[in-house]
Amino acid sequence: MTAALTLIQQLHQGDKKALARCITIVENELEGSQEILTSLDFKRNVPVLGITGPPGAGKSTLINAVIKQLTEKGKTVGVIAIDPTSPFNYGSLLGDRLRMAEHFTNENVFIRSLATRGSLGGLSAATIEITDVMRASIFDYIIVETVGVGQSEVEIVGLADTTVLVLVPESGDDIQSIKSGVMEIADVFVVNKSDRDGAALFMKNIQQLVHSKPAGNWNIPVIKATATKNEGVSELIDAIDKHHALGVNNKRSYLLAEKAYRLIQNQRMKNVSKKQLQQQLESELKKPDFNLYRFVSQIK
C-alpha cells in the first residue's frame, strides 16, 4: 500500500494529522496529490457552507458564533478561511485565522487558511480540492469563508451547497449596484450588525428583492443578526439545516460545471508561474519596443 493510500485511510477515519498532511500535499501538488484526490470517498453527505459578503460585514465574527453553537451541540466543523494573497511573497495574510483563535484548542474544530493566489473571485483553484479532502473526513459541517472582494465572489456558488451572503446596513446605498452579481447567489441572507441605524429599512429592501424573484422550492430567508451579541445565530443554523434537508439542489449541475471548469483551468495553467513571468518581464521592460500582447503571445 502506498503512503498516499495509507493517508487516505487515516483521513476517512477522522485523523486530523492525516487530514493536515493530505491538504498540504494537495495544495502544493506534491507527489501523491492525484492519488489522494482520486481515492476520496464521499459516502457522507456533508453540507458545505459558503460564507461571503463585503469586507467589514463581520463574516469571521458570525462564523465564530456559528462554530460555538454547533460545537456546543457536539458537532464537528471544518473551516477553510480564504485570505488575500500577499502580492510580494504570494502567501496568505492569515487575517481570518487570527480572528478565529478562540477555537484553536477545540478538538471538534479544524481551521485551515488558504491564499487566493491571485483569484479575483475569492477562491483559489486548490480550494475546491481541499474542500473535497475535508468532505472525505468526518466533519458534520464545512464552512468556507471568502475574502470579501465584492461582486466577483459569485465563484463561491460553484463550491458551496448553501451560500450565505452577509451584509450590513451600510450596504443599503449600494444594493442596486451589487444585486445583479453577488446578490443573486445567496441561499440565505444575513443582515449583520443589525443594531445599527438603518437596519430596518435595509432589511425591508433585501426582503423586497428576494420576493421579486420567481418562486422555487426554497424561500430565501433574510435573517437579522448581531453576531457580537449572539443574536440571529440560531436562526441562521436552522436555515442552513433546512436548506440542506431539501436534498434537491437545482444548482447542482451548475455547481459541478463550475468545479470542473476550475479544475481543468488549473491543470492547463500548471506551467505558468507568476514569479517567472515577473522575472521575464523585468528583463523585457528594458527594451524600448516592449509590447505586453506580443510578450503574452510568446508564452508557451
The secondary structure of the chain in percent helix, strand, coil, rounded to multiples of 5, reads: 50, 15, 40
pLDDT score at 85: 52
How far out from the chain centre does Cα 93 lie?
16
Query: Is 167 a member of any domain?
Result: yes
10 Å CB burial of residue 151 (0-12, 13-18, 19+) is: middle
Distance between CA atoms of residues 72 and 80, nearest Å: 20
Residue 250's pLDDT is 64
Q: Over the chain (300 residues), what is each successive 10-residue block's mean pLDDT?
A: 89 94 92 91 88 86 94 96 56 50 81 67 69 93 78 64 89 54 80 92 86 77 95 97 82 72 80 86 91 86
**Contact criterion met (CB below 8 Å) for 198 and 168:** no
Report CA Rg, the chain. Answer: 20
Whether 280 is in a domain gets the answer no
29 and 72 assigned to the same domain: no
In a domain, 58, yes or no: yes
**Which domain, by its residues, includes 34?**
1-41
In terms of domains, do 22 and 86 share one? no
Query: Which own/partner pairs from 197-201 qualify as long-range (CB within 8 Å, at least 24 positions apart)?
Result: 197/169, 198/169, 198/170, 198/172, 199/169, 199/224, 201/169, 201/172
Give domain status of residue 161, yes or no. yes
122 within domain boundaries: yes
Q: Flag whether 277 is in a domain.
A: no
Give the integer Cα–Cα distance in Å for 46 and 68: 18
Residues 135, 28: one domain? no
Pairwise CA distance, residues 41 & 135, whole Å: 8
- 83 in helix, strand or coil? strand
Q: Distance between CA atoms of 74 and 69, rounded to whole angstroms?
A: 9
> Looking at the structure, do residues 69 and 97 belong to the same domain, yes or no?
yes
Q: Are residues 108 and 203 in the same domain?
A: yes
Q: Are residues 37 and 53 in the same domain?
A: no
Tell whether the torsion through CA atoms of 142, 161, 146 and 10 is positive or negative: positive
CATH number at residue 192: 3.40.50.300
Pairwise CA distance, residues 33 & 23, whole Å: 9
DSSP track, 211-231: HTSPP-S----EEE-BGGGTB
Domain count along the chain? 2
Does one domain contain both 112 and 256?
yes
Question: Do both 147 and 219 map to the same domain?
Answer: yes
